[in-house]
Amino acid sequence: MNPEKRDKFILWSCIGAFALINLLCIWWKSFLYFPAISLVLLLVYLLIYRVDWLMYVMAFVTPLSVVINAENIRLGISLPSEIIMIAITFLFLCRVLYDLNMNRKLVTHPISIAIYAYLLWMFVTCITSEQPIVSFKFLASKVWFITSCYFMVLQLMQKDMKNARTFFDSYLVGLVIVVIYTTTRHAMRGFSEVSGHWVMTPFYNDHTAYGAVLAFFIPIVAGFFFQAEQKGRKLFYLVCEVFLLTGLYLSYCRAAWISVIAMFGVWLVMKLRIKFSLLLLFALLSGTVFYFSADDILYRMGRNSNETSGNLTEHIQSMSNIRTDASNVERLNRWTSAMGMIEERPVFGWGPGTYQFVYASFQKSKYQTIISTDFGNGGNAHSEYLGPCAETGIIGLLTVLALLVISMYSGIRAYSRIPNGFRRSMALCMTLALVTYFIHGFLNNFLDTDKLSLPFWAAFAVIAMISVEQNDNTAATT
């Protein structure tokens, strides 16, 4: 055995023995401080010497992390993923102060600038917030989400663009484990529609967040499948895609289903090379028509009495039922409450993260249901657009829309100008993944959680990196 192989054998033997000791301590419920100290030491080691590995660990554990809400422990963060995100953010800030080696074009890319504007305005509205402590805590979580999942992913890709695929693969493995766990629990209950709303707990708080992340990864895994050259890797992605599609169907998340259908529409537009300006014009015209036809649409929706059920057709038809479907009516309750909040404070809003503490007094009795609460402690605004507008004002909404438009433009532009290959495929699948979330964002919002923030901001990073490389290549050939 040559020295290099011998050293690797000794290293992995020590790691295996160390892991076995920790597992035995946990199994016997003895010396539990030993595994805790081991995890801290491992985190510190990776943070100092192998931050790239730590990034992959962060991606893997994120779908498997849980929020600790024991009787005497209410941390309000997801463990262990957010602890790792905070540690990586601290490392990044230290590097900024010392010597951060990042391409200037990445730092000044339109996506990065849009993120700066997004965070800056959020900081301003924290100062004017109804509950500043809540808002600054919310801002802090945004900072560690964006730093660890956007800026550090950019750093990861500067070494090798294919590290991005490894990063998403790491999340995918953790997600497939959750899908297997969820599907098994669901099968034990006869795949009933009711149990489909909660069997993914404690990893995802409900079926909508679970459906959203499955929809997000479906185009990514499809793209990775067509990129793969080895048969073993192709088989891996094919199996994962089957798991994701099965999980998506059994999630009974109507918004996720619609987002995947819309994603196929955008894919067709990209294949036909329809100009982005025409696509944006169509979106604006559709929004205008919807706005002026809102009363007629609500009237027609009010006549729909289809209930949610295990039948696929009936379940989709129930999306427009605002007559008897409590989930749909409650969503209208949250939206009208958000609009009332916007009317009262249109410029600065009520403060980041404060919607759930403020919306109670803005509820209208005609939209309240059996799942409504007079205390207004039922959650967020169920919209990635109305929620930020209510919390950070119209300017806050504009920063969100700027992120949407710039990321879509950059992704579509890069895809249309790059020749066939790894980067073109990555631009396509990341853009389509973001499309699923932007569509889903009309009905739900999850960017205040680590589960969706990690792949969301990482997809932004991939598009920014590909865009910069494409611009450099274009400049070099002219």
* Region 424-439 average pLDDT: 95
CA distance linking residue 333 with residue 330, whole number of Å = 5
The answer to whether 280 and 288 have CB atoms below 8 angstroms apart is no
CA distance linking residue 315 with residue 360, whole number of Å = 29
Q: Percent of the chain, pLDDT > 70?
A: 77
- pLDDT given at position 355: 92
- pLDDT given at position 22: 58
More confident residue, 11 or 400: 400
More confident residue, 94 or 400: 400
- pLDDT given at position 321: 45
Query: In the predicted model, is pLDDT for residue 231 greater than 70?
Result: yes
On the 0-12 / 13-18 / 19+ scale of CB atoms within 10 A, 433 is: buried
Q: Tell me, what amino acid is at 133?
A: I
Residue carrying structure tokens 């660990």? 57
* Region 135-162 average pLDDT: 93
More confident residue, 113 or 9: 113
Band (pLDDT 50/70/90 cuts) for residue 387 is: very high
Query: In the predicted model, is pLDDT for residue 247 greater than 90?
Result: yes
More confident residue, 278 or 23: 278
More confident residue, 140 or 333: 140
- pLDDT given at position 275: 73
Average pLDDT, rounded, for the chain = 82
More confident residue, 12 or 131: 131
* Region 136-142 average pLDDT: 95
- pLDDT given at position 377: 59
The answer to whether 221 and 215 have CB atoms below 8 angstroms apart is no
- pLDDT given at position 330: 80
Band (pLDDT 50/70/90 cuts) for residue 315 is: very low
Band (pLDDT 50/70/90 cuts) for residue 398 is: very high
Query: In the predicted model, is pLDDT for residue 323 greater than 80?
Result: no
* Region 211-225 average pLDDT: 96
CA distance linking residue 362 with residue 58, whole number of Å = 39
Band (pLDDT 50/70/90 cuts) for residue 354 is: very high
- pLDDT given at position 476: 55
CA distance linking residue 409 with residue 431, whole number of Å = 9
Contacts by residues 325-331 (CB-CB < 8 Å, ≥ 24 positions apart): 326/369, 326/370, 326/371, 327/371, 329/367, 329/369, 330/367, 330/369, 330/371, 330/372, 330/378, 331/382, 331/443
Q: Tell me, what amino acid is at 63?
A: P
Query: In the predicted model, is pLDDT for residue 4 greater than 70?
Result: no
- pLDDT given at position 214: 96
Q: What angle separates helix 450-477 from helix 386-417, to the nearest 10 degrees?
A: 40
Query: In the predicted model, is pLDDT for residue 8 greater than 80?
Result: no
Identify the weakest region by mean pLDDT among 100-104, 176-180, 419-423. 100-104
